[in-house]
Structure 1
Amino acid sequence: MGEIGETDYNTAVFEYKPIEEVKSYVPLVIDTIISAVNELIDMGAQTLVVPGSFPLGCSSSFLTVRASKNKKDYDNRTGCLIRYNELVEYHNDLLKKKLNHLREVHPNVIIIMMTTTMLPCKLSILLLNSSCCGGGGPYNYKINSLAQCGHVLATVCNDPDAYAYWDGIHFTEAAYRIRFKSLFKGQYTTPRFNSLCRTPTPTSTSQVGVALSGSQIQR
């Protein structure tokens, strides 16, 4: 499944709508996701992967557009905006409940949810809150459209693999590698991929075993 709802939240935040109004969108977004999942099941889908929302409060775009002078608005561990990550937790919790109900209705269908709320703890090995490509400012993200990534006035970092965000919204390849390992080889899916796809024991050199098991990540 695609990441339904991200643009709805982003647009509302960039238009400076109150957080309470943005939260009111969550049930509508979740209903849309569940409707899309049901439609695919009706079409014969047997295994679906449904992503939860990412920690929006960690992106350089949110940190720039909704910056606060109150230090209590920021997570001491990650520097992320707490209230927007709480919005993501609300989204993911409601999605999880709805997907659990779908599993009861469709017991023969495998529905896997990606849960990435705590992913910043893994991404913290990179420059988490700054953009590689941007127009300056504390997080290298400018509200001014003339300085956004891709414009002649924007600059690009020398080492994209050191950054989590490319342009303030989208992840870098380095971040996607960490996401892959965390999701497909760790504990960020329900059920876990390594419980669905185990390594077969090769009986000859011509056989190749593919595994999706590995690192243990504590939430």
Structure 2
Amino acid sequence: MSTHFNSICLNDCAEMLKKSLFMVGEIGGNNCNYALGIGNKTIKEAMEMVPQAVQAIKNAVQEVISYGALKVVVPGNFPIGCFPIYLTGFQTNNYSAYDKYHCLKELNKFSIYHNDLKIAIEELKQEHSDVTIIYGDYYNAFQWVFRHASNLGQSLSFCY
């Protein structure tokens, strides 16, 4: 990472980094996508990967802070139970498996579990009180769009 920083700021790199906003993530999403998709893992097996992903995110945040970052956004996961790839791959005739938006509840529970990343962020805030670290709540932002789709001129109907 230092090589990259050196390539974009020849002088006063530390000062530039202090004024920058860092987006650290979304890390671990591809691992989960692979595990649940091509890897044919169960949700429980994919959940076992989450602590490693959260630690990788925490390490990445600590690294950018070590280079001088003072403003960091760490995004969480989307509600993957609403994504067509998972709705197709985990399709079931059990209507109770779906929420009112026809999203798979168990997969969204997985996303919420991964979003326990918020605990790691709070730990980082305690360790680095001079740094602003914000959780980017993709899950609830996405859910807001679902709840307000008709007001936004969108439909929740399926595309074929």
Output the TM-score relative to the length of structure 2.
0.76
Distance 1:65 1:129, change over 3 A: farther
Aligned length: 130
Describe the SS at the equivalent of 1:118.
Answer: helix
Specify whether residues 104 and 81 from structure 1 end up closer, same or farther in structure 2 by C-alpha distance, changes over 3 A only. Answer: same
Whole-Å separation in 2 of the counterparts to 1:70 and 1:30: 32
Q: CA RMSD in A?
A: 1.5
**Within 5 Å, which residues of 2 pair with 1:130-209?**
130=158, 140=160
What letter matches 1:92 in structure 2? N
The amino acid that maps onto 1:109 is V
Aligned to 2:79: 55
Q: Specify which of 119, 134, 137 is matched with residue 97 of structure 1.
A: 119
Query: Counterpart of 2:68 in structure 1: which amino acid?
Result: G
Q: Report the counterpart of residue 137 of structure 2 in structure 1.
A: 115
1:9 aligns with 2:32: yes
1:16-47 CA-to-partner distances (Å, cap 9, x unmatched) read: 21111000010010000000000000011000
Q: Contact between 2:79 and 2:142, CA under 8 Å: does it hold in 1?
A: yes
State how far apart, in whole Å, the 2-side matches of 1:11 and 1:97 are: 25
Where relative contact order (Cα < 8 A, 6+ residues apart) is larger, the structure is 2
TM-score (norm 1): 0.56
CA contact (8 A) 2:72 2:133 kept: yes
Please state how far the C-alpha of 1:104 moved relative to its aligned partner. Answer: 0.6
- Decide whether the 8 Å contact of 1:103 with 1:110 is kept in 2: yes
* Long gaps (5+) in structure 1: 131-138, 141-219
* Matched position secondary structure for 1:117: helix
Deviation at 1:82, TM superposition (A): 0.4
Give the counterpart of 2:89 among 60, 65, 68: 65
CA contact (8 A) 1:79 1:129 kept: no
In the alignment, is the contact (CA less than 8 A) between 1:80 and 1:129 conserved in 2?
no
- Counting aligned pairs with the same residue, the percent is 35
Q: 1:128, CA displacement in angstroms?
A: 4.3
